Chains A and B, each alone.
Chain A
Amino acid sequence: MDRDQQRIDSIRRQQSELENHVMDEFFAGRMSRREFVRRSTVLGMGLTSIGAFLAACGTGTTTPPATGLKKGGKLIVAVIAPAGKIDPLSVADEGGLAVLGQAGEYLVWSDKDLKLRPVLATKWSSNSDGSVWTFTIRSGVKFNDGTALTAKDVAATMNTHADPGNKSNALSALSGVLSKGGAVAKDDTTVEFHLDAPNGSFPYLISSDNYNVIILPAGYDYSKKYEDSFLGTGPWKKTSFTTGKGVSFAKNASYWDSGAPNLDSLDMTFYAEDQPRILSLTSGTSDVISQFPIGAGQPLLNNPNVIAIGLRSTAHRQIHMRTDKGAFTDKRVRQAMALVVNRSDLVTGLLKGKGDIGNDSPFAPVFPFTDTSVAQRALDVAKAKQLMSDAGKSSGFSTTLYTWNSYEIPDLAALVKSAAQQIGVNVALQVLDPDTYYSKYWLDSELGITDYGHRGVPNVFLTAPLTSKGTWNAAHFANSAYDDLVKQYVSASDVPAQKKLAGQIETLLLDQTPIIFPYFYYHMSATKNTVSGVEPTAMGHINMKAAGIKS
């Protein structure tokens, strides 16, 4: 037995049955290296073990840290102005979460490749059916007010967010998964999560993807103004905050990860509009911009002094068609509508190529478990006309498409209108302000376009807008076979089973087509070319822990 095999066997002996199963899949070639790393981290296998295992298999895993950086200095990040107060319970926007994640930290970090990385939790594992998850909390961590972090703080934070009475924005992911009291501190470094139902992706639901759940002390009073303290265990400590203007941070000298952050200080300047934020980078006023829309940010893509970072994401627009009444009750009509949408043109024209084509299911190409063997729906006007004829709608009909005015959405609506004309569907457009759309038309319109932000796992996309009891089910889609498949998918932690179920769900949704998923757009951010080590995520986080100025 060679030394590599001995090392592999040694690592295997320390892992659970599920983790060994993942290794088997990797060995058998049924799982890519990327999928292996991602799946292993979900199951709680430590990065050291993953690295050692891959090294023994002849493939490295460690990502080289940013090198060639000056020690110290200050960077200015231009972020979207937070929509309201920076409050761990209520933050629901990209500007707010980008700020929240500086002084605050999560148990687990969901990175740009949708892999999990330990932060305040060093490892995690589940029982055999994924209904109880155990997290080990890092020792020696202090909040920036000097108090020590314990498992009680973690349990209290999670129970606070899981309590419907607190109206936490995190509930959209935790509802039906974790109830108040489900997080229990077993000792100072161990937290057990007793879930409402088995969930194979639970670590994602309490990771940075669920951006409200920064860990705060057990006795923290959430009615207090968080902006006064910016309490947290993160690498940064607030020095000043002005509503609407920005926040300044200094290095947290007692940060648990010695050597980090690299910079001495960090300023986050708030910009209410895209153009000034973009211009701040080109004029040298800021060093980093956390996000820019592809349309407004065209000049950045060709600027030699700027590094544009495009991250594949699962963020998308959904074109829902109401299935329970009106013109779209016949699935053939819905299929016809989907067939006349030219997805390639949309990605090229609206997104300048910075997006992935959708296949009318939430399984974005970037998800490792998307079954890519399911045929891609392509433009086919002749087939669409035939379907309309079969449905008795060959002469077409009139309908109204409701949506709201932001980014490329009005252009998408106009292109859908134009495409629908090819099969005789006369679409009137109602492009509204967001408040009117979401309060009056979103869940009651026959045809509408809604935007969905990035998620590390598709669970929310699969449940809320598509299951029979989904709270955001604008299509009013009710299909018991689908509900059952999603239930199985959510609880599955076995890789082949998840992929198989994904394929079945994709096929079912292509047949039923309650929603057209035209594309998944990239998350764009940018830095000066003199800056390195900035880590954005498609969720909207901007991790500045390893950032610095090139030497």
Chain B
Amino acid sequence: MARFLARRIGLALVTLWLLSIIVFVGANVLPGDVGRRILGPFADPRAVAVFNHQLGTDRPILVQYWSWLTHALRGDLGNSIAFGDPGVSMLTRALGNSLKLGLVAFLLVVPLGVLGGIVAALNRDRFLDRLITIAGISATAVPEFVFAILAILIIGVALRLLPITATAPDGSSVPVQFGYLILPAIPLVLVLFGYIARITRAGMIEALDADYTRTAVLKGLSYGTVIRRHVLRNALLPTIAVVATQTGYLIGGLVVIEFMFNYQGIGQLLFLAAQKKDFPLLQAGVMVIGAVYLIATLVADITYSLLNPRIRYGGAD
């Protein structure tokens, strides 16, 4: 297990390093320059040149990258060029917000999706199965912003049941913050529900048809025990992998949702950083999201291995 973990962590670090190079090169080939973005289109070109020199963005790209890397390794991710704040503090706040929204969506969609998949599998080819499958696929096919608009207009504006902004006032209690996050979580739930339900349903059907399930039934175990101890344990393996891959999306990929609900999450922050060519913030943010993805995948792998000893002990090889 230790060797397995060491190998995965080592791979994760290499992935992050490669990611840093890709982002650095990508950000530098974007048109325009930082000084122009910050000082505005009508700023004197000499002032823009002086500002770029002060920022160091007129240096060769390799020198800039080396400077960034050596500082990053010491834990210094630099200050945002546009806002002046330390990138770490801005990212920490935004990541905290994203985690809250992701968590609310996660807490709503995972039980619903898994439950939907189980119900569909247990009612295979019947009305309930078809309803869950078709509704789930349809909802997955609709872009999240469509649901977001509908949720805002119907629930927020017409019925005024929930606030249309996801940001709770400063000092709000946890339940109040949760209340503010329900509306933006709804489109995410609708988009992800069908995906999770389908994977769970497929896993369930495969496990229900498996020999070990037939054996468990034949040896006289109760239906509930068979489902709980034999079917679910095997059926949920692919679901865990799917949920893990969605974690990164729920943390860093909600740019549209964050803009629509005016939520200062990490997706919105990175979008603005890219727009303003705010290198330090962009670079640090991508590293953070990359790390979240890798950690989520690692957690999923560990959970998977705990449920599936063949992986834990390298039995699949």
- Which residues from 87 to 106 on chain B have a C-beta closer than 8 Å to any C-beta of chain A? 90, 93-94
Question: Known contacts being A172-B42, A225-B84, A283-B156, is A438 close to B260, with CB within 8 Å?
Answer: no
Nearest neighbor of A404 in chain B, beta-carbon distance: B41
Question: Known contacts being A83-B276, A245-B167, is A275 close to B260, with CB within 8 Å?
Answer: yes
A127 interface residue, CB < 8 Å from B? no
B156-168 near A? 1/0 per residue, CB < 8 Å:
1100100111010
* Interface size band for B: 35 or more
Nearest neighbor of A440 in chain B, beta-carbon distance: B31
Nearest neighbor of A460 in chain B, beta-carbon distance: B42
Question: Known contacts being A248-B170, A282-B157, A440-B31, is A472 close to B90, with CB within 8 Å?
Answer: no
Q: How far is the CB of A259 from chain B (nearest CB, A)?
A: 28
- Interface-facing stretch out of B121-129, B186-194, B228-236, B264-272: B264-272
Question: Known contacts being A84-B82, A85-B84, is A283 close to B160, with CB within 8 Å?
Answer: yes
B178 interface residue, CB < 8 Å from A? no
Q: Is the CB of A83 within 8 A of B82?
A: yes
B47 interface residue, CB < 8 Å from A? yes
A392 interface residue, CB < 8 Å from B? no
Q: Is the CB of A272 within 8 A of B83?
A: no
A253-297 near B? 1/0 per residue, CB < 8 Å:
000000000000000011111011101101111000000000000
CA distance A84 to B34 in the complex (A): 12
CA distance A464 to B43 in the complex (A): 12
CA distance A269 to B42 in the complex (A): 27
Q: Is the CB of B93 within 8 A of A283?
A: no
Q: Which residues on the A side are within 8 Å of B83 (C-beta)?
A: 84-85, 243-244
A-B contact count (CB 8 A): 109
Question: Known contacts being A167-B39, A276-B165, A280-B164, is A436 close to B31, with CB within 8 Å?
Answer: yes
B76 interface residue, CB < 8 Å from A? no
Q: How far is the CB of A287 from chain B (nearest CB, A)?
A: 14
A471 interface residue, CB < 8 Å from B? yes
- Which residues from 134 to 156 on chain B have a C-beta closer than 8 Å to any C-beta of chain A? 152, 156
Which of A90, A273, A285 is within 8 Å of B259, CB to CB? A273
Q: How far is the CB of B7 from chain A (nearest CB, A)?
A: 39
A242 interface residue, CB < 8 Å from B? yes
B50 interface residue, CB < 8 Å from A? yes
B293 interface residue, CB < 8 Å from A? no
Q: Can you sample 13 A-B contacts with CB below 8 Å?
A: A90-B39, A93-B40, A167-B50, A169-B40, A242-B264, A243-B90, A244-B90, A269-B165, A269-B262, A280-B164, A435-B32, A436-B32, A439-B33
> 6 smallest A-B Cβ distances: which pairs?
A435-B32, A438-B41, A92-B40, A84-B82, A85-B84, A436-B31
**Beyond the given A83-B276, A244-B264, A245-B167, could you list 19 further A-B residue pairs with CB under 8 A, ordered by the A residue number?**
A83-B82, A84-B82, A84-B84, A85-B83, A92-B39, A167-B43, A169-B43, A242-B170, A242-B264, A243-B83, A243-B90, A244-B90, A269-B167, A276-B261, A279-B156, A283-B160, A433-B32, A436-B31, A436-B32
